[in-house]
Amino acid sequence: MSNKRITALSLGILLAFLSSACSNNTPEPNQAGSNATPTASNQKVKLKYWTPDRGFSEQIREEVDRFNKTNKDNIEVELSIMAENYPQSVDIAFSSNQAPDIIRVNNVTFMPFLKKGYLDPLDTYLPAEMKKKFEAVLSEEINMKDGKIYSLPNYGYTHRLVYNKELFEKAGIKSPPQTLDELVASAKKITESGNGTAFGFSANLKSSLNAIERSPRAIAELSGYPGYGYDFKTGKYDFSGFKPIMEAFRQMKKDGSFFPGSESLDIDSLRAQFAEGKIGMYISISAEPNVYKQQFPAKIKWGAALPPSIDGNIRGAIGLTQAGAWLSISSKSAHKAEAWKFLQFLYGDEVLNSYYEKGLGTSLIPFVLANAKKPQLEGVEGFLPTKYDTLQPAPPTITVDGMNYGDAFLRYILDGGDLNGIIADLNKRYNQALDKARQSGDVKLSANPDFDPVKLQGKLVK
> Pairing between strand 302-305 and 75-81?
unpaired
Q: What is the DSSP letter of 122?
A: -
Percent of the chain with pLDDT over 90: 73
Residue 279 has pLDDT above 80, yes or no: yes
Q: Which of 355, 383, 411 is the last residue of a domain?
A: 383
- 280: β partners: none
| Same domain flag for 311 and 177 | yes
pLDDT at position 358 is: 87
Residue 152 has pLDDT above 50, yes or no: yes
- Burial degree of 354 (CB within 10 A; 0-12, 13-18, 19+): middle
Q: How many CA atoms lie within 13 A of 110 on its CB side?
A: 27
Among 165, 440, 456, 156, smallest CA distance to 325 is for 156
| Same domain flag for 290 and 344 | no
In a domain, 10, yes or no: no
Query: Could you give the CA distance from residue 308 to residue 313 in angstroms, rounded to a whole number?
Result: 9
| Same domain flag for 176 and 132 | no
| Same domain flag for 39 and 129 | yes
Q: Diameter of the chain by CA atoms?
A: 68
pLDDT at position 462 is: 65
| Same domain flag for 152 and 163 | no
Query: Could you give the CA distance from residue 227 to residue 405 in angstroms, rounded to a whole number?
Result: 11
Q: Is the dihedral of CA 93, 34, 344, 29 positive or negative?
A: negative
Residue pLDDT, tens place only, 208-239: 998 999 999 999 999 999 999 999 999 999 99
User: Across residues 254-263, what is the average pLDDT?
Assistant: 97
379: left (phi over 0), alpha (psi -120 to 50) or beta: left
Q: What is the DSSP letter of 292?
A: I
pLDDT at position 377 is: 84
How many domains does the chain divide into? 2
| Same domain flag for 200 and 298 | yes
Query: Could you give the CA distance from residue 158 to residue 170 in angstroms, rounded to a whole number?
Result: 28
Percent of the chain with pLDDT over 70: 91
Residue 257 has pLDDT above 60, yes or no: yes
What is the domain extent for residue 353?
A: 30-156+322-383
| Same domain flag for 222 and 293 | yes
Residue pLDDT, tens place only, 84-120: 789 999 999 999 999 999 999 988 899 999 999 999 9
Residues in the chain: 462
pLDDT at position 367 is: 87
